[in-house]
Chains A and B, each alone.
Chain A
Amino acid sequence: MMKRILCLCVCVFAVMAAAHAATDADVAALAREVAGKGWIVYGARGDNGTWDLFVSRPDGTQRRNITNTPDFEEAAPRVSHDGTKMLYRRLAKGTTINHDQWGFQGSLMISNPDGTNPVAVGGEGEFPWASWSPDGRQVLCLTKKAIQFVDLATKKVVREIPRQGIYQQLFMSPDGQWLCGTANLKGESWTVVRVNVADGALNAVRSFQNCTPDWFPDSKRIILSSRPSGQPGNNGGGFTQLWMADGDGQNQQLIYGEDGFHIYGGVLSPDGLYVVFTKGPKDGSGAEKAGAPIGVMRLSDAPTITGESADLRKVHPATKDGPVLMLETGWEPVWTYTEIGAAK
């Protein structure tokens, strides 16, 4: 009798799990859908053992190493909004990339988006947390004293605004009107904030254990990683999930999560229809080692939860659970529609 009940429980559970899971066919359909939509650019360990920059189609095909420098570690690529340039950081060989301090590490490099013609813009630690202005003529830098707008042609600081507690991951909205970053605010660290570029006004987007914010193409919403409180998993520490919110903090919504995994580095495709991120079992996104598997999903499938994720499903009972396409291992992926070109 007991065995029968157990079997029944297992069957019910299996049916429930199957109901949640997207099928292989769903994943294959997603792969076909995104295959021709530009390129994913990311850092990963090359055959030479160091971090290099790689590109692949969003379905994981046509992967190739575009820097292949055995004497350096290269990571954190960001393609300019017009798609003509790419910036990244180049670190001395053997340097461990710190998942929270990488913006302070190494030299700022600017190259063509396919990795050719790399030029060191500054020395070690200079131009910290550099990211693109909308026109690609300036980079924003985050220093202890201020947020600096640096003209790339002259390398001069053309404007400064107070950093107001922002300490990492500073990015400007595609329309140039806003900044987002990770900050100390009202006694709470790890708060994602938005800053009005015109007047410096700052507002919280999401408080308590958030980081890696980035802009939606519409400059209105922000994607970020968040580890909400109250999660019993991971010895009460919980797991990091992918969220989105309006720039003013309204309409906060789960995009993707799975108990047992930390989701970091979320960015949108240029059309805002897809999301790319990394998903690793260990906190910190794997920057210190070899990164974590890269995932791709449709934004229209948010919120999606994969795996059993009993704790997460309790909090988010109504999920769409669309397909998630898992690619190679990497770190800090970005998505560009710039036609980087086929393998040489």
Chain B
Amino acid sequence: MTRYLCVAAAIALLCVSCAKKKDDGADPKVTTLGKFEVTAELAEIPGEFVDKPLYDYAFVMKYKVLKVHRGKVDGDTIYVGHYNPLKPRDQVADARVPEVGGNVKQFRVGDVHRMALEVPIEDCYMGGIINRYFDKGVGPIYWAVWTNQATRD
């Protein structure tokens, strides 16, 4: 009987540890920076990032909005420019763009991000912007100030 109990307890423990820990991505930065704050799923990365370390740029990606925490965001699809997307967010700030960050290590379609945003991107960032959605006439383009990893509710 004891043996059965031990096995059951072990299975229960395994289930608990396997269950994905909920993380809403909130921290003092993402909840205060920028005028907008959303939790959104990265729906599309249009093509490959440019891998030229000598050149800084912002890259526009498509998100499906799951929850709006602050500000008024129209529609459930938004377009967000991330600065130097090949760099982990905690290493991306530099002299040109000192106030960006977060804990996202890598941009992957399907991941959920909690983001502090500004708009329009041109008012926040003066540098090269790769916007492969231009021909589709989408907008506005948000500027990602802070980007944290999050899980779905």
Contacts and interface: CB of A to CB of B under 8 A. Distances in A.
Interface of A: 98-101, 104, 142-145, 163, 165, 167-168, 184, 186-190, 237, 283-284
Given A100-B55, A100-B56, A187 B123 contact: no
Interface string B93-118: 00110000000000000000000000
Interface residues of B, number: 21
Say whether chain A's binding surface is mostly helix, strand, loop, or mixed: loop
B151 interface: no
A283 B52 CA distance: 10
Contact of A167 (B52, B126, B131): B126
Nearest to B125: A144
Q: Which of B124, B129, B131, B135 has the most CB of A within 10 A?
A: B129
A76 to B, nearest CB: 17
A235 to B, nearest CB: 11
B16 to A, nearest CB: 47
Say whether chain B's binding surface is mostly helix, strand, loop, or mixed: loop
B128 interface: yes
Contact of B54 (A142, A186, A284): A284
A104 B134 contact: no
Contacts of B134: 186-188
Contact of A187 (B55, B122, B124, B131): B131
Contacts, number: 48
A237 B55 CA distance: 13
Contacts of B129: 165, 184, 189
Interface of B: 52, 54-57, 95-96, 122-135
Contacts of A167: 126-128
A144 B131 contact: no
Contacts of A143: 126
Contacts of B135: 186-187
B34 to A, nearest CB: 15
A281 to B, nearest CB: 14
A167 B97 CA distance: 13
Contacts of A163: 122, 126
A143 to B, nearest CB: 8
Q: Which 6 A-B pairs have the closest CB atoms?
A: A187-B134, A189-B128, A187-B131, A184-B129, A167-B126, A144-B126
A144 B96 contact: no
16 contacts: A98-B95, A142-B126, A143-B126, A144-B122, A144-B123, A144-B125, A144-B126, A163-B126, A167-B128, A168-B126, A184-B122, A184-B128, A184-B131, A187-B131, A187-B134, A189-B57
B137 to A, nearest CB: 10
Contact of B132 (A99, A187, A283): A187
B57 A165 contact: no
B126 A189 contact: no
Nearest to A166: B126
A165 to B, nearest CB: 7
